[in-house]
Structures are given as C-alpha cells and as structure tokens.
Structure 1
Amino acid sequence: MTKDKGKSLRTGPLVQGLSLDPADDRFIGVLRWLLPGMRVKRYALVAVLGLLAMFLGVVHLSWHTALVPWFLQVMRWTGYLGVPLWLSGGLWLLLGLLLFILGLRSMNRSMLSAITDPASVSKQVYIRRRLEAGPRIVALGGGTGLSRVLQGLKTETANLTAIVAVTDDGGSTGRLRVSFGVPAVGDLVDCLAALSDAEGLPELMQYRFQRGGELQGHTFGNLMLVSLSELFHDFAQAIREANQVLRLRGAVWPATYEAARLWAERDDGSRVQGESALRERPGRIHKVGLAPSDVAAMPEAVQAIERAEMIVLGPGSLYSSVIPSFLPKGIQAAIQRSPARLVYIVNIMSERGETEGMDAYDHFQAVEHHLGRRPSVVLVNNARIPEALLRRYQASGQQPVRFNPQRFEGLGVRVIAEDFLEPGFAQHDPERLVKVLMSLR
C-alpha cells in the first residue's frame, strides 16, 4: 500500500471511480431522491400543486392591478366561478397553503422514518441544541477516572474535548506499542467509548479477546486504532478518522501522536523508566517527564485548550495519567496562557508506587509544580469510605487521600470538599462531579 496521508475512509477503494467533486456529489444526491421507491416524489408533487394553487389565488386577488396577457388567460380558465374574485382568490390561497403544508409534512415524515422514529425527532433536536449551547470544556488525564467524568459531562455539553495521556506501556497497550511503534491506545479507546452515541459501540470497543493466541488480551478498540494507524501510516490521522466515524458527542485526542515514554525521578535521585515500572519500586516521586522531552502535542488538543471555558484535570493517577497529559510540547504553554477556569479533581485513593503518604495538598502542589500554573478550583472527596470497602483497597496497597483544609489557606484557591463517592466503590460518582463542575460556570 502506498503512503497517502490525505486519504480517508470516505474516499477509499469502495468509492473509487465516483466523482469526488462536492458540486457533483450534491447534484447526484438531489437526483437520488427521484429514484423509484424513495416515497418522496408523490409528496413533493402535492407540495408543488399547493404552490400552483396559491399562485392562482394571487392571480385572482390581483385583478385590480395591471395584468399581463398570460395573467388574463389564467383568469379565463379559473376566474369565472360565479363568486367574487376576492373570495375565489382566498379559496385558492387556502387550498394551496393546505396542500403545500401537507406535502412538506408528509415528505419530511417519509424521509425521517427511514432513519429514526419521527415522534422522537423533536426530542432529539431539543437535546442536541441544548448540548450544542453547553460550555466548552477540556478534560485531561487518563485511566478510568477520565472516561467516567466524560460520561457525566457529555450529558451537559457537546462542546467537550478529552486530552488523553498515552504513555501506558503495560498489558495489551504495551504489546501493541512494541509491535507497531504507536502511542498507548488503551485509555484513548475508553474515552472514545465513553463519548460515543452509537448504541452498543462502547461494549464492542471494550470487548477483550479471551482466546485466540496472539489476540488474547487485546481489546477490539485497541486493534481498531492500530489498524487505522497502519491503514493511514499516520497515528494522528487514524485518531481523526476515529473521531469522525464513531459518532462522538465531543472529541477525543491523544496528548501527543508520538510514542513517548514516561520517566520518573524519586526523592533519592533514582530514575525509573516506563509507566508500569512506577508501581514496582517504592519511593516518593519528585518529578516526571517524557522521553524524548520535545514530543509534539496533537494540534487539535492545543486548539481545544485555546477555545476552552473550563479545563479539568483528573481524576486519575497523579503521575501516570494526569501530569503526563499536559507534558507534551504546546499543551503546557496553552494551559498557562488560557483564561479558562482550571479545575483539579484530587484522586480519592492513593496509588501504589506513586502517591503513598501524599495528602490532597501534596497532589495539588505536584500539579502546580509540573504545570507552571495554579489550579483555581480543587475538588476533594470528604466522605468516609465504608470499612469493608476500605479493607479491599488496603489489601492492594491503597489508602484514602487525606484532606487538611488548613494547608490550602491563603492560596487564593477555591476548595470544594464534598461527598463524591460512588456507592459501593472508592471512586468518583460522575453525576456528583458534573453537578459541581456545571455550577462553576
């Protein structure tokens, strides 16, 4: 296959030989309505007859004006009805208007019935218009935390952009990185599934093969994104195509289209290479970065930040999801100069190998240190985790992130401490998060 970064799924082999001129495409589209079985022509004819009847009404009512000869001929055909011209003209106008409305209404119902339930159209239009008028929000991070907050935000706005960290190197994602040299796709798939409006697509995207040799352990969505990358020989173009064909309520972009690798420097000066290695070696993290250090940001991600009214960081693993999402060149600078409100959502539980012993203020300070800008709003959970649930998390080395409000005093930061717990889990409830986020507008 020859390299062609400009092609798209909509101009591939299946449509070769057809005209790609937009004007020709529109002309063919109009002619297609005239094909047999479309159930449109009959209603269009009724609407045309309605227009003709209204024209006759105008002819009758315009008798007092200077009429051209062909107007007079029409009067000879239709005007001698034994009633005053103003009455016959009014009747023709009324009949024409009724026919025109009936034709248009029937034509619209016929076309819409082929793609959706006509009774639900008004509801769908209302929802779409309300969402289109929603705030422009950019959410950065990765893991399950970001995808869950996206599920909540998409019920409030269609002007939503997810910017996803792509440094994961474990599991299916890690295998695909090694085999194809692409950035991590796992968290991208989760976010694409979260924002998709296509029925059944999220389940399909996240389906994980349980057998099949080399297929085992991979998700359908991971393989789809890698397949698109191979098809276009361009990971950035592959993500653009995925945004187009998956019917997203918003957009999902990787922080970078390059296969960057995460590194971490601990307080003792030792350095850890690779995201998956963070959990294998204990010790407090001082700094994280990307290798190479000059990886370029996805252009659409930077543009979304520049247009944003609100920028949300997290929830998610501090050093392996939240901070890596704004490290690529261009994203950090865009956030620093953005006038948008910057909100940081602190994780509910600590992460083994990353944030042991860190409280909410330590999380906040790490974000400010790496970003070069202080979040103006911080969301912290203050609900107590049930003992039985807490023991399950403690068994895997996790502890609740402590919150001391006194440490935030004098910073000029608005701290919102509420019950953000989802029942039965030590994670954020999307509905509770979104309720608070939308109140910040």
Structure 2
Amino acid sequence: MTANPAPEVSLACLGGGHGLYQTLKAARLASPHRITAIVTVADDGGSSGRLRRELGQIPPGDLRMAISALAGDSEESQFWASVLQHRFGGNGALAGHAVGNLLIAGLTELIGDEQQALDHVAGLTNSFGRVLPMALEPLEIEAEVAGLDDDPRIMREVRGQVAVASTPGTVRRVRLVPERPAANPAAVEAIRDADMITLGPGSWFSSVIPHLLVPGIADAIRESRGLRVVVLNLTAEAGETAGFSHERHIHMLAQHADGLRLDRVLVDASVLPSAGERRYLEATAGKLGATVVYDDIRAVSADGRATDIHDPEKLSAALSRVWRGR
C-alpha cells in the first residue's frame, strides 16, 4: 500500500463504531485493491439496541457507519452516505433512529438475508469495499468488573456493551454470550486473503477485543501471512479502560487470545514522550512478536488543539509507511 493507488494490496479492517470509521476513511484514502470491514455485532444501545430487541436482527449501527465510511467520492455517493447517517429528531417512535439502521433492518426482513441487505445498501453509496459482520448472530458482551464494591477484590459481572463501556469499575476480562460463536465464513476468508489486517482503534473491550473471542476470527488472524497491525487508541477511555497504560492495552489483547501474534503496533508519537514509557510498550509488544511504530496520527482541531481522534489522512499515510517498511 502506498499513498498512491496500489492495485495489488487488500486490507481487512476489524473493529466497530467511531474507531473503525476513522480507520476505514484512512484505508479508503490509500486506494488499495480491496477493503473489507469486519464489524462487531454486540451493540445493545440506542437505535441499534432497539432494532435488535424488536426484530432479533444483528445490530446495524456499526455496520451502517462502516458503509458510510467507505462511500464513493461522487456527489450522489456522498449524498446517500449522509442519508444513512441522518437521525430522526423529535420525541416519537422514530426519534433517535438512523435512517441507515432502518433501511438495513427493512431490507433484511424483505430479503431474508442480512449480508445481502448490507450489500444492497453499500450499492447506494458505491462503497469502496465490503462490510461484513464478524458473526451471523447478535452477540452480548459480559465483563468481570472490579471496583464496584467497597472491597476492590470482589468481581461483579456486567452484561451488555453499553453497560461495559460505561462501567465506573475496572474491567478485568470480557467474554461473549453465547461463548465461542461461529465466525462469519466470509469474514474469515477476507482475513486469510488480506495483505494487511488492522485491529483498532476503538472501545477496547467492546469493539476491539470481541473479534479475538470468536474462534474462527482469532484463528484466521493467528494463521494469516498478512501484516497484522494494531492501531492503539490515543488515550484511555472513561469507563472501560480508565487508567490503562498503552502496554496494558496490548496485554489485554494477549490475555483474551492465546497464541496471538502481531507484526506492528502503531501509536501516535505524542502520547508516549518518555523513553521509559516507550520501553515498556515495546517490551510488551515484543512478546507478541510485534515492533512498535511511532507516527503522527492525531487529528488537530481548527484552533490548533490536539484531539483524541485519529486523523484519516495522517493514519492513511502512517499505514502506507508501515506497509512500505515491512
């Protein structure tokens, strides 16, 4: 992959929510041969949660965002991307629903196949790539959380993506319900065929780690001959990873996936200014076979202030440099 079109390179990008959205925007800018978004299916909040409970379908929100991120450059494609992202206002039954969520749910009922529904919606935006759920059934996240009692040694179970993401305690471990779900075969194939696999950024326990808890996905990552790249968050998130160091993020990946092997860990150069902090991260990444790459990937606001969002253009350039330096 280079900053210019690279017709022979394929990408598989794993994650969910806003983190995956930024990664896909970055991947789109690099113009590779193929991009496949592989998306978590455990969301239980907002519009997605309502549709999941009422219809029993895979929650569509993260899938919708991925389709929008991969939208073509034409005026019509961008128009449809904005339509998918539009949310109804007001206080009625439709309030808070995204148009794209309703469209995906309606097409799924009409066609009877969620993947075909996603492909049809992607056709509206002329999406550059395909969006795949990581599993073909809605999943739940269950976490072991410390710090919810006076005794910090007591562990409590918290269930649901929203509850895990917003817990005031410290997440120690997560699992999926049902445990060991079957992977989407198309997602497994995309990972096996990819020249580069990206994991993260995003909500670590509710968008990133769940991929490693699907045995077929985890096996495909372990066995891949592609370049396996973890994109670290710019900061720990309030709630599920509050107080986590960067090396602890990597440790958590290893804890949830026995035998996990990685090749690169991409981190913004500004978040670890000291040599000591970098040594800790490099040692932890090295245990998984990975080299740490420092680069400028943080977005800056209009008034010049650093944000906690990855800049798609900077991230695209950084991933291109990682690819060239492999």
Does the TM-score normalized on the shorter chain lie above 0.5? yes
Cα deviation code 1:228-255 (max 9, x no counterpart): 1111233233234334554211111111
Report the Cα offset of residue 194 of structure 1.
Answer: 0.8
Decide which structure has greater helix share. 1
Q: 1:136 to 1:280 in 2, by over 3 A?
A: closer
| Partners of 1:255 and 1:326 within 8 A in 2 | no
Q: Which of 229, 243, 265 is the equivalent residue of 1:378?
A: 265
| Partners of 1:368 and 1:375 within 8 A in 2 | no
| Partners of 1:382 and 1:403 within 8 A in 2 | no
TM-score, with structure 2 as normaliser = 0.85
Residue equivalent to 1:405: 278
Residue equivalent to 2:149: none
Residue equivalent to 1:194: 69
Q: 1:201 to 1:341 in 2, by over 3 A?
A: same
1:380-395 correspondence runs (5 A): 380-383=267-270
Tell me how far apart the structure 1 counterparts of residues 71 and 271 of structure 2 sit (CA, whole Å): 33
Q: 1:331 to 1:255 in 2, by over 3 A?
A: same
- Are 1:415 and 2:292 counterparts? yes
Residue equivalent to 2:189: 303
Q: Which of 315, 319, 322 is the equivalent residue of 1:437?
A: 319
Specify the structure having the higher radius of gyration (Cα).
1
| Partners of 1:140 and 1:326 within 8 A in 2 | no
Tell me how far apart the structure 1 counterparts of residues 180 and 92 of structure 2 sit (CA, whole Å): 37
- Are 1:182 and 2:51 counterparts? no
Runs of 5+ unmatched residues, structure 2: 147-153, 302-306
Tell me how far apart the structure 2 counterparts of residues 325 and 214 of structure 1 sit (CA, whole Å): 33
Tell me how far apart the structure 2 counterparts of residues 231 and 310 of structure 1 sit (CA, whole Å): 35
| Partners of 1:158 and 1:249 within 8 A in 2 | no
Higher relative contact order (CA closer than 8 Å, sequence separation 6+): 2
Q: 1:300 to 1:358 in 2, by over 3 A?
A: same
Structure 1 runs of 4+ off > 4 angstroms?
Answer: none
- Are 1:137 and 2:14 counterparts? no
Aligned length: 297
| Partners of 1:360 and 1:403 within 8 A in 2 | no
- The answer to which of 294-303 and 237-246 deviates more is 237-246
Secondary structure of the corresponding residue to residue 208 of structure 1: coil
Tell me how far apart the structure 2 counterparts of residues 281 and 211 of structure 1 sit (CA, whole Å): 29
| Partners of 1:289 and 1:324 within 8 A in 2 | yes
Residue equivalent to 1:325: 211
Tell me how far apart the structure 2 counterparts of residues 150 and 279 of structure 1 sit (CA, whole Å): 22
Q: Which of 257, 264, 277 is the equivalent residue of 2:136?
A: 257
Residue equivalent to 1:225: 104
Report the Cα offset of residue 265 of structure 1.
Answer: 1.4
Tell me how far apart the structure 2 counterparts of residues 440 and 207 of structure 1 sit (CA, whole Å): 35
Decide which structure has greater strand share. 2
Tell me how far apart the structure 2 counterparts of residues 294 and 300 of structure 1 sit (CA, whole Å): 17
Tell me how far apart the structure 2 counterparts of residues 308 and 333 of structure 1 sit (CA, whole Å): 14
1:157-306 correspondence runs (5 A): 157-197=32-72, 198-211=77-90, 213-267=92-146, 268-306=154-192
Tell me how far apart the structure 1 counterparts of residues 8 and 51 of structure 2 sit (CA, whole Å): 37
Residue equivalent to 1:353: 239
Tell me how far apart the structure 1 counterparts of residues 123 and 168 of structure 2 sit (CA, whole Å): 42
Q: 1:151 to 1:181 in 2, by over 3 A?
A: same
| Partners of 2:71 and 2:128 within 8 A in 1 | yes
Tell me how far apart the structure 2 counterparts of residues 179 and 380 of structure 1 sit (CA, whole Å): 40
Tell me how far apart the structure 1 counterparts of residues 29 and 310 of structure 2 sit (CA, whole Å): 17
| Partners of 1:142 and 1:325 within 8 A in 2 | no
Tell me how far apart the structure 2 counterparts of residues 289 and 233 of structure 1 sit (CA, whole Å): 29
Report the Cα offset of residue 261 of structure 1.
Answer: 0.8
| Partners of 1:361 and 1:403 within 8 A in 2 | no
Residue equivalent to 2:304: none
Report the Cα offset of residue 299 of structure 1.
Answer: 1.7
1:84-99 correspondence runs (5 A): none
Report the Cα offset of residue 212 of structure 1.
Answer: 6.6
Q: 1:240 to 1:132 in 2, by over 3 A?
A: farther
Report the Cα offset of residue 209 of structure 1.
Answer: 0.6
Structure 1 counterpart of 2:292, one-letter code = V
Q: 1:351 to 1:403 in 2, by over 3 A?
A: farther
Tell me how far apart the structure 2 counterparts of residues 236 and 293 of structure 1 sit (CA, whole Å): 22
Q: 1:302 to 1:239 in 2, by over 3 A?
A: same
Report the Cα offset of residue 327 of structure 1.
Answer: 2.5
Report the Cα offset of residue 134 of structure 1.
Answer: 4.2
